[in-house]
Amino acid sequence: MAEPILLTRGTDATNGLGFLPHGAGRNMSRTQFLKANPDLPAPPDIDIRSFSGKPDLSEYPQAYKNAATVRRQMLEFGLAEVVDEVIPYGCIMAGEQPKWWMKTVA
DSSP readout, the chain?
--SPEEEEEETT-TT-EEE--TT--BSS-HHHHHHH-TTPPPPTTSEEEETTSS--GGGSGGGB--HHHHHHHHHHTT-EEEEEEE--SEEEE------GGGSPP-
For the chain, the domain total comes to 1
Residue 92 confidence (pLDDT): 72
Residue 86 lies in domain: 5-102
Q: What is the pLDDT of residues 12-66, one digit of tens each?
A: 776 766 666 655 578 888 889 889 988 888 777 778 777 777 777 877 878 888 8
